[in-house]
């Protein structure tokens, strides 16, 4: 299953969502991009994910345009800005989802408050994508009843997405 996660800068929320979803379900092909990518992944996004034992320090923000020629099972926007910028996403998309997470990079306050905002948003993203995996992307969604499917695996009962 191919999943593209979009936000504006691809420096915080979409990077964390991509990392969490890859951690939750490594069988998914997950990518993230931005409509106006930042120059780098936000250092506090890297730090908060590192605390969860997930390394995104080598990730780079990417422009959504490089993903337009691919087929997507899901395109998920994670901020209102990206949702407004992406209605003309011309890639082949089966499903679109939207979740609005606050941008922790725009938090105002002292260092401790901003750090707590990054942790809060990361946890919110984790919970939403854990739920999505359980209800939408998870193994139960991939049980195949067509045993003549060439991709059917008797042990895992998994096959192509068309044989659900």
Q: Which of 86, 144, 160, 163 is catalytic?
A: 86
Contacts of residue 95, defined as CB under 8 A and 6 or more positions apart, other chains included, come to 73, 74, 75
The answer to whether residues 146 and 159 touch, using CB atoms and an 8 Å cutoff, is yes
CA distance 159 to 3: 18
Instruction: Enumerate the H helices of 61-110 as residue ranges.
Output: 80-85
Catalytic residue status for 149: no
Q: Which of 79, 149, 160, 163 is catalytic?
A: 79
Catalytic residue status for 86: yes
Closest CA relative to residue 1, chosen from 113, 102, 133, 149:
133
Catalytic residue status for 12: no
The residues that are catalytic are 7, 79, 86
């Amino acid at each position: 299953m191919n999943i593209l996660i979009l936000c504006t800068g691809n420096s915080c929320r979409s990077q964390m969502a991509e990392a969490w979803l890859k951690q939750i379900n490594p069988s998914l092909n997950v990518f993230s991009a931005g409509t106006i990518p930042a120059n780098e992944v936000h250092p506090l996004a890297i730090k908060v994910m590192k605390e969860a034992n997930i390394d995104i320090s080598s990730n780079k923000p990417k422009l959504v345009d490089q993903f337009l020629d691919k087929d997507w099972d899901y395109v998920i926007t994670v901020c209102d800005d990206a949702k407004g910028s992406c209605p003309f996403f011309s890639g082949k998309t089966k499903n679109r989802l939207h979740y609005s997470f606050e941008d922790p990079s725009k938090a105002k306050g002292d260092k401790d408050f901003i750090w707590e905002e990054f942790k809060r948003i990361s946890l919110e993203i984790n919970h939403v994508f854990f739920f999505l995996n359980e209800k939408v992307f998870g193994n139960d969604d991939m049980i195949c009843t067509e045993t003549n499917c060439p991709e059917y695996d008797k042990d895992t009962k998994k096959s192509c997405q068309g044989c659900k």
